[in-house]
Copies of this chain bind each other. A is one copy, B any other.
Amino acid sequence: MGFQGIPGHEFVGEVIESPDRTWIGKRVVGEINAACGRCWDCQCGRQNHCPHRSVLGILNRNGSFAERLSLPLKNLHLVPDKLSDEAAVFTEPLAAAFRILEQCRIKKRDRVILLGDGKLGLLIAQVLKTRCRLLVLTKHQERKTLLEKWGIESYPTSKRKALSQSGNIGIDATGKPRGFAFAQQLVQPLGTIILKTTCAGRARYPLTPIVINECTVIGSRCGPFRPALQALKDGEIDLSSFISEIYPLKKGRAAFKRAGQKGTLKVLLKP
């Protein structure tokens, strides 16, 4: 988005200032889209698409790699006491995984092929594992091991040709343009592809198979916090292998370096 400012949009924090004093001292997570609340989109309930919105750490609003941040009260959600900070900080990306269930009616019998075994992919996998017949394409052996632990079927991306047109729903959470091309190979005619990947710049994708096979592509972004918090509270999501390391905020540069290393999952900053 060409944003210049403090990045970071996944956080857990304590309210230290608020127009409503009952919030002060509460532990919260926050939805990242701060809508104007007055425009037509907001009035129709499409606050996440408000054209006047700011987005935490992404658009016109400083983010969470900081001691303090500000968000509208209506964006906040209380964190249940039994949830640790280290779990609650996953509410935002987990909500993005739950967004898929709002956009696409996924049925138990559906064969869903998930591309991407990164952080978002692994959260989506856990959300979907009891809700459909899920297959995750993996690049890394250690992710395959994780998926096995969760009882989720996986298959190496490199051998995906054997799975050609074997799913009726595909999810691209690779973060790379080729993920969408792969999804087109894996999904049956009249199937659906959920697109989670946003690539910066002018990344371009082939689309002709979408027309020939009459597939549906659904762009998918931020999701609902409530089911995400509930799933975390209910212990549905195993996060034990997600946090690679925790750094103090002042070692932010080292944290970024660590996050960029191969095989790293989540790196947290603590102010």
Contacts and interface: CB of A to CB of B under 8 A. Distances in A.
Interface of A: 41, 46, 48-49, 51, 103, 165, 180, 188-190, 195-200, 202-208, 210-221
Contacts of A180: 207
Contacts of A214: 48-49, 103, 218-221
A211 B190 contact: no
A1 B221 CA distance: 34
A198 B206 CA distance: 10
Contact of A49 (B103, B205, B207, B213): B213
Nearest to A207: B205
A212 B208 contact: no
A217 B217 contact: yes
Contact of A217 (B41, B197, B210, B221): B210
A48 B220 CA distance: 29
Nearest to A210: B219
Contacts of A208: 198-200, 203
Contact of A197 (B49, B103, B211): B211
13 contacts: A46-B189, A49-B190, A49-B214, A180-B207, A195-B211, A205-B207, A211-B219, A211-B220, A211-B221, A212-B221, A214-B219, A215-B219, A217-B217
Nearest to A194: B211
A188 B165 CA distance: 31
Contact of A203 (B188, B203, B206, B217): B206
